């Protein structure tokens, strides 16, 4: 049985704050096979992004206090800095949330994609490189000529597509998408998410999608994968991404969400008698 693409066991991440240790991720475990789509849902500050940062070893100030993370069977904690650097975007890539500000504003799109190849030892002739980058952009619904443009000349949706193109440049086996569409307009959101889904399926990679819009997630995640509901209390210390074993009962929980069909619309309630204040 081939090892799962990603296997996280009892992951805990702590932050040292003036008010003592803050446990951002509290005993999270889940695993993913190739091609699987996994949704990580929760409100802001619920630790869902921290899990991804811990995976990519980009925790600023945080510390993985316990738990193991295995990518394609390899325990990530055993890798040295240089080894881990080579693994980034080759085996595991990231689609950032703030696409608007995630591209280097002073160099062309072409150079930012070429960097990935160069620093992972992938050599091309310049003509070949142009063709490869052109294909990559076309796969995410952008014209090949976009590679000669600067980031400020592209719309929010186009910038996010460039980030998706980057994330599949080295054909990784796992894509981490940290709220890739929350900064975009509603209409563009659907197109970009659709592109991400299509590209991930063509690549056969596993994908972890982080988000707080549960309705959006429900449509993206394949029925088999389960969803973690990351709790966050209003005051005081936030609880980490609590581990919900097996499948959350999606039906009951979804009904509580505002939507056009649900009858829980506030407006429908009979008008109370006046004079509340």
Partner 1 sequence: MAKLLEVRDADVVFTSGFGGREKKRALSGVSIAVGGPHPAITAVVGESGSGKTTLIRLLLGFQSPTRGEVVYDGKPMATMSAPDRARFRREVQAIFQDPFDAFNPFYRIDHPLLAPLRQFGLVRSRDEAYARIEKTLESVGLRPDQTLGKYPHQLSGGQRQRVMIARALLLDPQIILADEPVSMVDASLRSTILDILYGLNRDLGISLIYVTHDLTTAYQVADSIVVLHGGQVMEVGETEQVIHDPRHPYTRALIDAVPSPDPDTPWNLDEQSGVPARFAPDEAPRPLHRTGPLRAVAGSVGDPGDVVTAAQIQLAVSAARAAEKPA
Partner 2 sequence: MYGEYVLRRLGTMLLVIFLAISINFLLPRLMPGDPVEAQLNQLMATGGGVSDITAMVESYRARFGLDQPLLSQYFAYWQSIFRLDLGVSLAAYPEKVTDAIAGGLPWTLGLLGFATLVSFLVGSLLGGLMGWPRTPKALRIFGNGVVVLSSVPYFLVGMILLYVFAIVLRWFPAGGGIPFGLQLGFNWPTVSAVLWHATLPAISIIAAEIGAWALGMRGMLVSVLGDDYIALADAKGLKPGRIFLRYGMRNALLPQLTKLALALGHIVSGAILVEVIFSYPGIGFRLYQAIQSKDYFVIQGIVLLLSVSIAIAMFILDLIYPLIDPRITAKGK
**Binding region for partner 2 (CB under 8 A):** 56, 58, 85-90, 93-94, 96, 98, 101-107, 111, 115-116, 118-120, 150, 152-153, 163, 166
Residue 22, exposed/middle/buried by CB under 10 A (0-12, 13-18, 19+)?
middle
Query: Of 103 and 216, which CB lies nearer to partner 2 in the complex structure?
Result: 103
For 154-185, b/e burial (b = at least 16 CB within 10 A) is bebbbbbbbbbbbbbbeebbbbbbbbbbebbe
Six-digit token string for 271: 């008008």
219, interface contact from partner 1, partner 2, none, CB < 5-8 Å by kind: partner 1
| Residue placing its CB nearer to partner 2 in the complex, 123 or 267 | 123
- Nearest approach, Cβ of 43 to partner 1 (angstroms)? 5
Residue 123 contact among partner 2, partner 1, none, beta carbon within 5 to 8 Å by kind: none
The three-state secondary structure class of 22 is strand
C-beta of 49 vs 200, nearer to partner 2: 49
Residues that bind partner 1 (CB under 8 A): 43-44, 140-142, 157, 185-191, 193-195, 197-198, 201, 212-216, 218-220, 223, 232, 234-235, 250, 254-255, 257-262, 265-267, 271-272, 274-277
Instruction: Select the binding partner of residue 16 from partner 2, partner 1, none (C-beta < 5 to 8 A, by kind).
Output: none
Question: What is the four-CA torsion angle of 36, 41, 46, 51, rounded to 10 degrees?
Answer: 10
Decide which of partner 2, partner 1, none touches 127; Cβ closer than 5 to 8 Å per partner kind. Answer: none
Whole-number minimum distance, CB 128 to partner 2, in Å? 20
Interacting partner of 90 out of partner 1, partner 2, none (Cβ under 5 to 8 A depending on kind): partner 2
Task: Name the residue among 24, 115, 114 with its Cα closest to residue 63.
Answer: 24
Neighbouring C-beta atoms of residue 238, cutoff 10 Å? 20
For residue 152, the minimal CB distance to partner 2 (Å) is: 5
- Residue 88 is given by DSSP the state B
Q: CB–CB of 180/207 below 8 Å?
A: no
Residue with Cβ nearer partner 1 (79 or 100): 100
Minimum Å gap between C-beta 99 and partner 1 is 14
Distances (CA, A) of 98 to 102, 163, 170, 239, 259: 6, 10, 22, 25, 26
* Polymer length of the chain: 277
């Amino acid at each position: 049985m081939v090892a799962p693409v990603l296997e996280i066991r009892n992951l805990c991440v702590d932050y040292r704050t003036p008010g003592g240790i803050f446990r951002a991720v509290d005993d999270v475990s889940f695993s993913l096979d190739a091609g699987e789509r996994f949704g990580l849902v929760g409100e802001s500050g619920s630790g869902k992004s921290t899990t991804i940062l811990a995976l990519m070893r980009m925790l600023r100030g945080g510390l993985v206090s316990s738990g193991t993370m295995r990518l394609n069977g390899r325990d990530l904690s055993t890798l040295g800095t240089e080894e881990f650097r080579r693994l980034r975007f080759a085996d595991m890539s990231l689609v950032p949330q703030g696409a608007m500000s995630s591209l280097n504003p002073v160099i062309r799109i072409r150079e930012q994609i070429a960097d990935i190849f160069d620093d992972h030892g992938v050599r091309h002739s310049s003509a070949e490189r142009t063709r490869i980058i052109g294909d990559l952009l076309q796969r995410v619904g952008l014209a090949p000529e976009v590679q000669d443009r600067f980031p400020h000349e592209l719309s929010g949706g186009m910038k996010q597509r460039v980030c998706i193109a980057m994330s599949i440049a080295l054909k990784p086996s796992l894509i981490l998408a940290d709220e890739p569409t929350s900064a975009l307009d509603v209409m563009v959101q659907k197109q970009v998410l659709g592109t991400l889904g299509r590209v991930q399926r063509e690549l056969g990679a596993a994908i972890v999608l982080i988000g707080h819009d549960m309705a959006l997630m429900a449509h993206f995640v394949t029925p088999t994968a389960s969803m973690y509901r990351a709790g966050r209390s209003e005051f005081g210390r936030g609880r980490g991404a609590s581990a919900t074993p097996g499948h959350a009962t999606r039906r009951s929980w979804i009904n509580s969400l505002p939507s056009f069909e649900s009858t829980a619309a506030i407006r429908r309630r009979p008008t109370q008698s006046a004079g509340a204040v």
